[in-house]
Amino acid sequence: MTNNNYVRIFDTTLRDGEQSPGATMTSAEKLEVARSLAMMGVDIIEAGFPAASPDDLEAVRRIAVEVGNPAVPESEARVPIIAGLARANKSDIDKAWEAVQSAKHPRIHTFLATSPIHMKHKLKMDPEEVVQRVSEMVAYAKTFCDDVEFSPEDAGRSDPEFLYVVLGEAIKSGATTLNIPDTVGYTTPEEFYTLIDGIIKHTPGMRDGITISVHCHDDLGMATANTLAGIRAGARQAEVTMNGIGERAGNTSLEEVVMALKTRHPVFDLETGIQTKQISRVSKLVSNYTGIVVQPNKAIVGANAFAHEAGIHQDGMLKHQTTYEIMRPEDVGVNQTKLVLGKHSGRHALRTRLAELGHSLDEVELDKAFARFKELADRKKVIVDADLEAVIADEFYRPRDVYLLNDMQVTCGTMGMPTATVRLRGPDGVIHTQASVGTGPVDAVYKAVNAIVNVPCELLEFNVHAITEGIDALGEVTVRIQGANGHTSMDAQSEAHYPRVYGGHGADTDIIVASAKAYINAVNKLIIAQTESHERVVNDFGVMLG
């Protein structure tokens, strides 16, 4: 069994995270997230569940090619393993292999439930059949790929003695990583420690070269504690997601495990390969793309994680930072620099600051960023890092523009009907103009946009918040919409189909403009997803389906 002091970080934001209802990303966004995860130093990227749909397979394949086998790798150590999830059947394994095979380091991750509840009610299989299937399917995956991971789903509620047998068979058939999921977030840290300890001690065939992994869900708020308990017991891979997104209450969050291991290094004496200064940037990227807002008090990445409101805390902080801060905000990429740039700052200063924040832009991108920066500097006296991050997210981390906001005007107040006139540049380059009235200014804008794009959808969620303090602060809007066309995703475990939800993000000093941008952003994703799958049907079958 591998038992050194390095913990591999297996990120499943793009699989367990994205599969959770409401976190849909376009394939371009998935690719961007995968790139950022690789830059941050993640060891394994679980890029998706290829059997879910041809779109999902294609998204994993692109990540395997572009992130898992880049033409110019920065260094060999930086090329992450690309994993694809497969249920324990030949068809899923074939698709997972098809998707990941172009990666330099491909991995097939297959799973089958082992708890009495799942075997009886979900699989309708006897324990003996489960053992047999695991042995056959791990061996089948091994015929394609050297690196095979096996997970006994719902291990947290499985009989440990039965787990030893199943895992022993998986080792015999060639699995080199055994992932132990607490699928429903049921166990306590003590129980999970004992489970992992028992598996390491009693699984037949356990040896050096076999990695034990932990994968915890947060239903009782114990995912991070359970993951750390598993690591203390000897697990050397942690399966996590950015911001802890995932099924129901989510997965263990990457940032919590990584920062716990770093901040409490004397307790754990373990390392990860994560460049922690990238955490804040990747967290924002995932939040913007999924439309899932990070709660303000979320550990490490919440807006208040490093804010000190109470007078007594502020007083302590002024005397010495360590009085109330156990980590430095800079260590996770939250820069405390207040006054960064102003109206008179030049292009070079902007480039330098953006590079310090982890954004390396080419000349054309820098021109665009500089134009946005100047425009903002005319309206806002000081521009802090949070403003720059919002502008970058708004300008670059958004899907290909199908419709683009050209300009808009809104009248509202107590004296009349809120009315919006919106002009969008369409995919054909033509400007479309529409005026609409609504219950409020945002409603009026959204009605005008709907009338132009003519893609039926429902607004599920609308969030607005100010990025910094002050009356001239940038407003950031996040929306989530659902298409009315029956587009669905398939969940790997429950096999349920649920409607895809698209998130959108926009930032501007005018919150109605930010609201328009966020909505257009989400609608563009919906249109792109529809077009992508339509094109795929055309490519796969050579016919146009209406």
Residue ranges that bind ligand KIV, judged by CB under 6 A = 16, 111, 151, 153, 179, 181, 183, 215, 217, 492-493
Q: For residue 170, what are the contacts with CB-CB under 8 A and spacing of at least 6?
A: 134, 135, 138, 150, 178
Q: At what angle do helices 189-202 and 223-233 cross, to 10 degrees?
A: 30
Burial of 35 (0-12, 13-18, 19+ CB in 10 A): middle
Supply the minimum distance, in Å, between the C-beta of residue 492 and Zn ion: 9
- Scanning 9-17, 316-324, 360-368, 535-543 for contacts with Zn ion by CB under 5 A, the matching segment is 9-17
- Say which entry of ligand KIV, Zn ion, none residue 153 contacts (CB below 5 to 8 A, set by partner kind): ligand KIV
Supply the minimum distance, in Å, between the C-beta of residue 153 and ligand KIV: 4
- Best CA proximity match to 436, nearest among 504, 501, 509, 516: 516
Supply the minimum distance, in Å, between the C-beta of residue 57 and ligand KIV: 17
- Scanning 8-16, 49-57, 60-68, 265-273 for contacts with Zn ion by CB under 5 A, the matching segment is 8-16
- Say which entry of ligand KIV, Zn ion, none residue 508 contacts (CB below 5 to 8 A, set by partner kind): none
Choice between 112 and 444, CB closer to ligand KIV: 112
- Say which entry of ligand KIV, Zn ion, none residue 151 contacts (CB below 5 to 8 A, set by partner kind): ligand KIV
Choice between 123 and 437, CB closer to ligand KIV: 123
DSSP, res 64: H
> Binding to Zn ion (CB under 5 A): which residues in 357-416?
none
Q: For residue 242, what are the contacts with CB-CB under 8 A and spacing of at least 6?
A: 11, 13, 17, 33, 37, 253, 254, 255, 282, 283, 286
DSSP string across 378-430: HH-S-B-HHHHHHHHHHHTSSPPPSSEEEEEEEE-SSSS--EEEEEEE-TTS-
Supply the minimum distance, in Å, between the C-beta of residue 15 and Zn ion: 8
Choice between 16 and 43, CB closer to Zn ion: 16
- Scanning 11-19, 22-30, 52-60, 361-369 for contacts with Zn ion by CB under 5 A, the matching segment is 11-19
Pairwise CA distance, residues 193 & 181, whole Å: 13
Choice between 215 and 480, CB closer to ligand KIV: 215
DSSP, res 78: G
Side-chain half-sphere CA neighbours of 384 within 13 A: 15
Choice between 46 and 508, CB closer to ligand KIV: 46
Which alpha helices (DSSP H) does 270-359 contain, by range?
279-290, 311-319, 347-356
Supply the minimum distance, in Å, between the C-beta of residue 17 and ligand KIV: 10
Supply the minimum distance, in Å, between the C-beta of residue 246 and Zn ion: 6
For residues 30 and 47, is the Cβ–Cβ distance under 8 A?
A: yes
Choice between 44 and 392, CB closer to Zn ion: 44
Task: Take residue 379 and report the two structure tokens written for it.
Answer: 């309206």
Supply the minimum distance, in Å, between the C-beta of residue 247 and ligand KIV: 7
For residues 463 and 293, is the Cβ–Cβ distance under 8 A?
A: yes
Supply the minimum distance, in Å, between the C-beta of residue 448 and ligand KIV: 42
Pairwise CA distance, residues 144 & 148, whole Å: 9
DSSP string across 477-530: EEEEEEESS--EEE-TTT--EEE-EEEEEEEESSHHHHHHHHHHHHHHHHHHHH
Supply the minimum distance, in Å, between the C-beta of residue 383 and ligand KIV: 41
Choice between 181 and 438, CB closer to Zn ion: 181
Choice between 151 and 434, CB closer to ligand KIV: 151
> Binding to Zn ion (CB under 5 A): which residues in 16-55?
16
Choice between 17 and 504, CB closer to ligand KIV: 17
What residues line the site for Zn ion (CB under 5 A)? 16
